[in-house]
Amino acid sequence: MGHFIHAFPPDARPYHPQLGEEPAIDPSAQVFDCDLGAWTEIGPRSHLSETTFGDYSYAANDVQIANAEVGKFCSIAAGVRINPVNHPMERVTQHHCTYRRVAYGFDTVDDAEIFAWRRAARCVIGHDVWVGHGAIILPGVHVGIGAVVGSGAVVTRDVEPYTVVIGVPARPIRQRFDKHTATRLIEIAWWDWDHMTLKQRFADLMDVPTFLEKYGARREA
């Protein structure tokens, strides 16, 4: 007979914070120079730096994001890395002693040019994007609205809206919706609705034809 473990350590509790206007950040996470939206969640041991993180988006545990723009309603799974840093391969050595010079006693100031170069290669993640476990999105890549990045994928090129990509390097395998439907969803831009509007129309998010019929441009014309 097995051993049923209710919780270990005994005082452990699942991390399911009540979300609200203030971002929910796990005590073990680290956030530096970031702009976090409302109803956002940053999970255990995650690290964000110089990043904007849109309303309702969440990062699960052990996520690393640097120099990026993450849209609203994004789902970032555990172990994801968005914008891993590049090293100066054109130098004699690509080791970071050539730009983190102060720590090694090689200079009194660090090499600001390298850090500016990294900041310039920002990743842009559109609204309603799902990034699967362990995926890596390389510097400068743009992932379109509604796209899906499969677990373990390494994204080296831009991803079109509502496209599902998998593999190393990541490649498209299908579209979530036909082009007409995708275009109409982008035109509606439901991710910009305020919280009360979302609450009132919440049930309609479950059914695409109903949603398009109610809120699409044709009905509003």
Residue 46 sits at the vertex; the CA angle it makes with 194 and 61, to the nearest 5 degrees, is: 85
Active site residue 95: no
Cβ(65)–Cβ(82) under 8 Å? yes
Other CB atoms within 10 Å distance of the CB of residue 14: 5
DSSP secondary structure, 23-82, as one string: -EE-TT-EEES-EE-TT-EE-TT-EEEEEEE-TT-EE-TT-EEEEEEE-TT-EE-TT-EE
Q: Which residue of the set 47, 87, 133, 142 is catalytic?
A: 87
DSSP string, 88-109: -TTSS--SGGGTSHHHHTS-SS
In whole angstroms, how large is the CA radius of gyration of the chain?
A: 20
Burial 110-132 (b: 16+ CB within 10 A, else e): bbeebeeebeeebbbbbbbbbbb
Give the integer Cα–Cα distance in Å for 146 and 184.
12
Can you tell me the distance from the alpha carbon of 59 to that of 76, in angstroms, rounded to the nearest whole number? 5
Catalytic residues: 87
